[in-house]
Amino acid sequence: MSLKFIKKLPTPDQIREEYPVSASMQELKKNRDKAISDVFTEKSDKFLVIIGPCSADNEDAVCEYVSRLAKVNEKVQDKLILIPRIYTNKPRTTGDGYKGIVHQPDPEKETDFLNGIIAMRKMQLRATNESGLTSADEMLYPENWGYVSDILSYVAIGARSVEDQQHRLVVSGFDVPAGMKNPTSGDFSVMLNSVYAAQHAHPFIYRGWEVNTTGNPLAHTILRGAVNKHGNSIPNYHYEDLVRLLEKYNERDLANPACIVDANHNNSNKQFKEQIRIVHEVIHSLRHNAGLRRLVKGVMVESYLEEGNQKIGEHIYGKSITDACLGWKDSEELIYRIADMV
């Protein structure tokens, strides 16, 4: 048998009991969840900014970043809701490179899932307790949901996971907004089919249990650009792309039509500074089309304390070890500019 079982990991209930959420944090999450959900159900016209490191690789640096973000949030909260990106899993199609803190709590050491799960939860808890901001994560492994479902206020499903049936079905049981990214092919139909599946009820097998879900009406789309057959980036944040997505939504019976525009990845061709220009263009498009203003609920930006990225082992505090990110100064200025524009 080639599938070798190494060791049984603690259940989500066991980890949550060891690292619990306080009563005050439960109340904070309840209020944050409602404020964010109200944007998707059009009870609020605030604009979402989901912003933070490409990968949350260092607890101290991530928590410092999120605490800085909280101070900015106080100044823009009448117009914006800032959601820190604390992404603890990194998709790796080839299997090489840093895979996120769940795999490698120490980026320079081998996989350690037990300590990785604990590191993930401890970092999410600390960041929220110190900042008062609940966060977003990418659910690369649906089985991880139970370890952080009482902490997160937003979940993203990546371009390589969005076609997977298990991801779609598990999202149908989430009680927070879940963004389904367009696949790397750029196919809007695949993305919208994923939203449709996530919004409906399903029976399926999960973690050894037969489960039923009621559907997640807050499932929505994320535009992150695409790749053509030659490997070249194809952006999909332009006015015409947004109009096309709106038309596709209008052809389908989906609850709460909504989109987040990811300003990095193939939209920027991974040129991190381009995120500033892209966000400006997106908001400019919304100001000229009321339908788009209702559809596009926010933007996603990769940002850290120091701009750019570094190789594992260089040890520059607050600098990405995966994709390059905006630095803090540019990020803060961009947030204030977004608040002025929306």
For 243-270, what is each residue's pLDDT tens digit?
999 999 999 999 999 999 999 999 999 9
- Written as six digits, the tokens of 229 are 């057959």
pLDDT at 91 over 90: no
How high is the pLDDT of residue 293? 98
| For residues 27-36, average pLDDT | 98
> pLDDT averaged over the chain?
96
Asked if residue 1 has pLDDT above 70, the reply is no
Cβ-based neighbour number of residue 301 at 10 Å: 27
State how far the Cα of 292 lies from the Cα of 49, in Å rounded to an integer: 17
Tell me the CB-side half-sphere exposure of residue 318, using CA atoms within 13 A: 17
Q: Is pLDDT of 184 > 80? A: yes
The mean pLDDT value for 139-145 works out to: 93
Residues 6+ apart with CB under 8 A from 340: none
Find all residues with CB under 8 Å of 271, minimum gap 6, and list them: none
Average pLDDT over residues 157-165: 96
Helices (H) and strands (E) in the chain, counts: 11, 14
What is the arithmetic mean of pLDDT over 204-214? 95
Q: What's the pLDDT at 6?
A: 85
User: Of 102, 200, 85, nearest to 142 (Cα)?
Assistant: 102
> What is the model's pLDDT at position 4?
86
Is beta strand 226-227 parallel, antiparallel or unpaired with respect to 233-234?
A: antiparallel
Residue linked to tokens 């879940």: 178
pTM as predicted: 0.97
pLDDT class of 171 with cuts at 50, 70, 90:
very high
Residue (of 81, 80, 76, 98) closest to 89 by Cα position = 98
Residues written for the chain: 342
The amino acid at residue 23 is: A
So what's the pLDDT on residue 129?
Answer: 98
Cβ atoms within 10 Å of 18's Cβ, excluding its own: 11
Q: What is the pLDDT of residues 44-73, one digit of tens each?
A: 999 999 999 999 999 999 999 999 999 999
Residues above pLDDT 70, as percent of the chain: 99
Beta-carbon count within 10 A of 308 CB: 15
Assess whether pLDDT exceeds 80 at residue 93.
Answer: no
Given this model, what pLDDT does residue 95 score? 67
Query: pLDDT (tens digit, 9 = 90+) per residue, 297-324?
Result: 999 999 999 999 999 999 999 999 999 9
The alpha carbon of residue 127 and the mean position of all alpha carbons in its chain are separated, in whole angstroms, by: 16
Q: Which helix (H) or strand (E) holds 136?
A: strand 136-138
Token pair 């996971």 is found at 161
Q: Which of 342, 238, 334 is nearest to 285 (CA)?
A: 238
